[in-house]
Amino acid sequence: MPDASTTHLVLIPSYNPGPAVLDTVRAARAQWTPVWVVVDGSTDGTAAQLQAMAASDPGLTVIVLPENSGKGAAVLEGIERAAAAGFTHALTMDSDGQHPAGLIPDFMAASQADPDAMVLGKPVFGPEAPALRVNGRKVSNGWANLETLWMGIGDSLYGFRVYPVAPLARIMRGNRFMRRFDFDPEAVVRLCWAGVRPLNLDAPVRYLSADEGGVSHFKYLRDNALLTWMHTRLFLGFVLRLPLLILRRLT
């Protein structure tokens, strides 16, 4: 196992991922110490399995929330506890095996070399990726780049990324949104507004079939409506901040 970092941790929000989460955590632990998992009110029995893993692994911490509150809420719980423990950065990754644990050291090294930046994964899709999901994210990416005056967000939705903990926690505490599926794109836009630069690194994304243990909580109508509402709010915020954003780009 790698030596424990005192500044950077891996943070995995998890909601009913099935057995895939155990492989995800093992893969993350092989690459980094410490790894924290925030179980967001799961009812699939994985909380107990993860706690059993943590009982014999001091590099693994499992936080169990009593009810499902959403990905953003789970991340906020994790980063607030991380900040209290003295950590400055958190790499977030999904619990279902879609994200490349093997790239954790590369992303952490990029963050350590440029700690004021957020390190964003830019997805490289395989042939199994649903065309609807691949093409649909281009809409969100276009809006996110407009809302930040093209600060350089490579992908607004891919959740494999390293966040500076302090500015993200501050933004989330001052905002009652960013608690569910809309967390990832809103986080990068608002961090850009706060002056946190994006640094993009390519990373593969793997869509697992049901036979491979893939679990999707994406609901097409519900979650696209949520993204539409989110970008409506962000665009209004962008208009209000436009003079400041232009000034920042010119200086």
- Tens of pLDDT, residue by residue over 174-215, are 998 899 878 999 999 999 999 999 999 999 988 765 555 555
Of 1-5, 146-150, 161-165, 212-216, the range with the lowest mean pLDDT is 212-216
User: Would you place residue 220 in the very low, low, confident or very high pLDDT band (cuts 50, 70, 90)?
Assistant: low
Rounded mean pLDDT, 1-28? 95
Residue 3 included in any domain = no
pLDDT > 90 fraction of the chain, expressed in percent and rounded? 77
Question: How does strand 118-125 pair with strand 161-164?
Answer: antiparallel
* Alpha carbon distance, N-terminus to C-terminus of the chain: 45
Q: How many folded domains does the chain comprise? A: 1
Q: Helix, strand, or coil here: 179?
A: coil
Residue 1 included in any domain = no
pLDDT in tens, 222-246: 666 778 888 999 999 999 999 989 9
Which residue's entry shows tokens 């079939």? 209
- Give the model's pLDDT for residue 210: 55
pLDDT in tens, 151-173: 999 999 999 999 999 999 999 99
Question: Containing domain of residue 135, as a range?
Answer: 8-250
Greater confidence (214 vs 22) lies with: 22
Q: For the domain that residue 117 is a member of, what is the CATH number?
A: 3.90.550.10
Give 102's DSSP letter: G
Residue 2 included in any domain = no
Structure tokens at 15: 């909601």
Peptide bond into 185 cis (omega under 30): no
